[in-house]
Chain A
Amino acid sequence: MNDITLEERTRNLQGLGSSRKRVEDVRFTQGKGNYIDDIKIDGMLFGDFVRSPYAHARVTGVDTEAALKVPGVLAVLTADDLKPLNLHWMPTLAGDTQMVLADGKVLFQGQEVAFVVAADRYAAADGVEAVEVEYEELPVVTDPFKALSPDAPVLREDIKDRTEGAHGPVRHHNHIFTWEQGDKDATEKVLAEADVMAEEMVYYHRTHPCPLETCGCVASMDKVNGKLTLYGTFQAPHAIRTVVSLISGIAEHNIRVISPDIGGGFGNKVGAYSGYVCSVVASIVTGKPVKWVEDRMDNLMSTAFARDYWMQGKIAATKDGKITGLWCHTTADHGGFDACADPTKFPAGFMNICTGSYDIPVAYLSVDGVYTNKAPGGVAYRCSFRVTEAAYFIERMIEVLAIRLDMDAAELRRINFIGKDQFPYQSALGWEYDSGDYHAAWEKALDAVDYTGLRKEQAQRLEDFKAGKTRKLLGIGLAHFTEIVGAGPVKNCDILGLGMFDSCEIRIHPTGSAIARLGTISQGQGHATTFAQIIASEIGIPADDITLEEGDTDTAPYGLGTYGSRSTPVAGAATAMASRKIMAKAQMIAAYLLEVHDNDVEFEVDRFVVKGAPERFKTMKEIAFAAYNQAIPGLEPGLEAVSYYDPPNMTYPFGAYICAMEIDVDTGEHEIRQFYALDDCGTRINPMIIDGQVHGGATEGYAIAMGQEIAYDEMGNHMTATLMDFFLPTAWETPVYVTDHTVTPSPHHPIGAKGVGESPNVGSVPAFSNAVHDAFRPFGLVQSHMPHDHWRIWKIADDLGLHQ
């Protein structure tokens, strides 16, 4: 009767722990994805922006006459056209407002000035060329410290006299907020009395998520039924629907937002952009669908950047290396508008996770947000709201302290890790870490790379270098990071007032297959693969028999979307909880069919069996059918459930990354000889997808650490607006990774999962950067800023006198 074993039945489900192949890849590898630019609607028009060539200027006139004469051009929108609709400015996610089109002035190079609507892209581009804009240049400030000087130019004339901002008092016309966490007095006392105190400025430079697919949308207003359909590259389609409703006045039920396949987001596609507003307005004005898709330069110059944090740090310790306190003051460059994408109560995101993996008794953090003449943004580029900055800061400060103590940096970490028995751990800056076993992960990592052997080799290399036998140094980069993901509990996490829960609705069909819809949206993460695996294990239906749908607000339950590694911690939990509601009913159906009491049946892989009589069972297929064809007393027909999950806490994935890097002191070139990445993301849903996530995130981390930057000159000219200058590694530059794991399940998550997509970006940047620093440590290097491209590494060597 049981003709196949329990193990085989489990394997057939392809549930949790299965390296099931990605179901999405059947279409992606055949070029059959459906991305925003694949969407074509009859009569569709195209929009394109006139952008500012200046970083700071008054706009004294926009002449659209010539543009309107270009064949194919139908309309040119300016701020004056949007004013009557009150859409010339729009709210940002950070409590600020942002110009949709230049309203009297521009604040960064590439800012949107006018929107040309034409019959095709070519006509739109010709129309953009023909718009004549008059500018009066104003003094430019690109340095956030200079922006706070008393005589700095006033950037935001619209709010220059305010004394209160969205996040408290404002002290200067270019000051946005100051955010303070922790105990300032206690921390300063500890610093003053410490055996040892190290201080350093750690800069995490401005970079950009630069997804393969740029941002775009198609707005289609049906004037007959009053319905607006908005297709777009939205990481949070439901929130976009609410925002569009609030700012346009169109009733929310008359708006349908659809996120089709998305070619990478990495935070770039969370916010609301001028292109969306202008496309909607243009569709309403023309009565036709309007498409807007950024080109690469538009994307790099105007849609959300990441990082740009100047972090002044002080760390105190006993002479034996036990850390006693941490202090950090961050100057955050937000550009011309504060368009950060953070939960409302966290204007600097989760920067207060900057105590990292360490048991630090007191700490203090303050963050100053500042306006400059640069593009707005400050999004979480494959990270959870400034966790990358926090992790980089603490992992650099640990290295700086190790130098100060003349101690091995691996040992310094070891003696300061939060102990396994200290969880749940209350951090000095206000978080409750749910779980962890840092020592176990650390020892496993050090063993795996033969840390002692590496150090010996490094010492030998140093001797050889000093003896003139080689011009290459060996750097060993260590990093142990703690993430904070899965935002988040509704009690303290919201975006624009929307609580950061998420959702899943599951419907079991009569034949025992299923469809599940979620409030999240995959951008390449493989949700259709992994969420089906959660359901497979919970309900006992093969993952192959489960369809996943996301991204259509008319059909999916409301959710806050995918960013900040929140899909698995929040929507994944909702998926498990919805499954369990179904199972509660399925158990009753099984008991009815087996003619026993509800409590006399138990679930076993893919069926309910009578306790003590395993030959008596009903499979989930049979139960599903019964739900639709039996009149069961006291039960409604059908088998479906929805769950809205409000997580009780964040999850805290962690990892240990080690990088061995060869550095040529004469050319500044490097070679990644070895990169080991151990991740603990709790319960592992699909190990193959985890590996893929780690490879992708570590490659982004490699790019950021070793060359990727958004650079401006002093005039505010954008220096890195193409992929010639903005470093995206090809297969040739990409290092080879060794992945590994430990498993410390989250105690509060229904299946113990923590999220992993962003860990490798968070953890790898300090590992790469620390390797560079470590190579030069014997010559006295303490701190040098990223990106560590050829010339900056050469400069380190040159400043240390290694070229004589």
Chain B
Amino acid sequence: MIPSGFEYHRPENVSSAVEILKKHGDDARVIAGGHSLVPLMKLRMAEMAHLVDLQEIAELRRISFNRDNVVIGAMTTQAEIVSNGQLSSLIPILRETALLISDPQVRNMGTMGGNVAHGDPGNDMPAVMQCLDAGYTLSGPDGTRTVKARDFYESAYFTVRSDDEILTGITIPMPVMSGYAYEKQKRKIGDYAIAAAAVLIGDGKASVAFTNLSDTPVWSASASRALASGSIEQCVDCAMDAIEPQSDIRGPAEFKKHVAKVVLRRAIHKAMERTK
């Protein structure tokens, strides 16, 4: 449980961080809160010659509230999401989700950017970002680009981000549907979901996404449409077609499908009750 040696970098702005990545290519990795990366390093499943720590970059820690959107800096911690009153009143599903991520010690270190960029299908925020139709800002040597959360994930730990790009921010379009819920079943505090569902509903629209039920987060257009049209059963059916859980220590695939249905129904009912 001891990582192999690496050179530690601590840049103070995004451009110098990008410079380091450009110079070292895939020999370099950025680190945010480290709660996913450090265990992989200790297991020597992730080895890199250069580790680029983003925590000195103040510009990545801001949350800005604009007329059409909210932009969350990548280094915003889960704890900051939980404690930000303005954010919680505008996009309450973020707080609800953040509170289901492990324990306070982890939330004090774990960041939004790390959570969505890592590509672990067990992370909670990616499905929520897909549900919210958020966009990710990627900064690289050739400038910045924005990729929709719904287009970002390719397979487990693989995303469209290139090795020399840094995910610097998350843009969530406003307003957000008023009915919301994130329902997660897990074995214990600190565990990934057996199954989790994010639901948004309101003004004749709906959005449905899942955590840890495929090798990527899953947003289902057809399930979202069905729910928007008021058919819960059709929504559930479409959702079941969209997911592809694997059997593992948390249980067989058919169990996970069953739980997916349960958490989805619960999320739908909770979201509908909360609709203003």
Contacts and interface: CB of A to CB of B under 8 A. Distances in A.
Nearest to B259: A667
Nearest to B192: A724
Contacts of A295: 1
Interface string B246-258: 0001111001001
Contact of A791 (B103, B191, B255, B263): B255
Contact of B185 (A125, A667, A795): A667
B1 A707 contact: no
Nearest to A792: B251
Interface in B16-33: none
Interface of B: 1-2, 4-5, 44, 103, 185, 187-192, 194, 249-252, 255, 258-259, 262-263
A707 B189 CA distance: 13
A725 B1 contact: no
Interface in A519-575: none
A296 B255 CA distance: 30
Interface string A644-668: 0000000000000000000000111
14 contacts: A121-B2, A126-B5, A129-B44, A666-B258, A667-B185, A707-B187, A725-B249, A730-B189, A789-B251, A790-B187, A790-B194, A790-B250, A790-B251, A791-B251
A785 B44 CA distance: 36
B205 to A, nearest CB: 28
B258 A794 contact: yes
Nearest to A707: B187
Given A129-B44, A669-B185, A711-B249, A794 B259 contact: yes
A727 interface: yes
Nearest to A713: B249
B157 to A, nearest CB: 16
Given A666-B258, A794-B255, A795-B255, A789 B1 contact: no
Range for the number of chain A residues in contact with chain B: 20 to 34
B122 to A, nearest CB: 10
A229 interface: no
Interface string A109-134: 00000000000011001100100000
Given A129-B44, A296-B1, A794-B251, A730 B190 contact: yes
Nearest to B247: A791
A41 interface: no
Interface string A791-804: 11011001000010
B5 A122 contact: yes
Interface in A87-142: 121-122, 125-126, 129
Interface in A751-804: 789-792, 794-795, 798, 803
B190 A720 contact: no
Contacts of A121: 2
B249 A719 contact: yes
Contacts of A122: 2, 5
A669 to B, nearest CB: 7
B262 A666 contact: yes
B188 to A, nearest CB: 5
A182 interface: no
Contacts of A727: 187-188
Nearest to A720: B249
Contacts of B263: 667
A66 to B, nearest CB: 14
Contacts of B255: 668, 790-791, 794-795, 798
Contact of B188 (A126, A668, A730): A730
Nearest to A732: B189
Contacts of A126: 4-5
Contacts of B192: 724
Nearest to A295: B1
Nearest to A121: B2
A63 interface: no
Given A122-B2, A730-B103, A790 B185 contact: yes
Contacts of B259: 666-668, 790, 794
A803 B258 CA distance: 9
Max chain A CB contacts within 10 Å: which of B2, B192, B251?
A: B2
Contacts of B1: 295-297
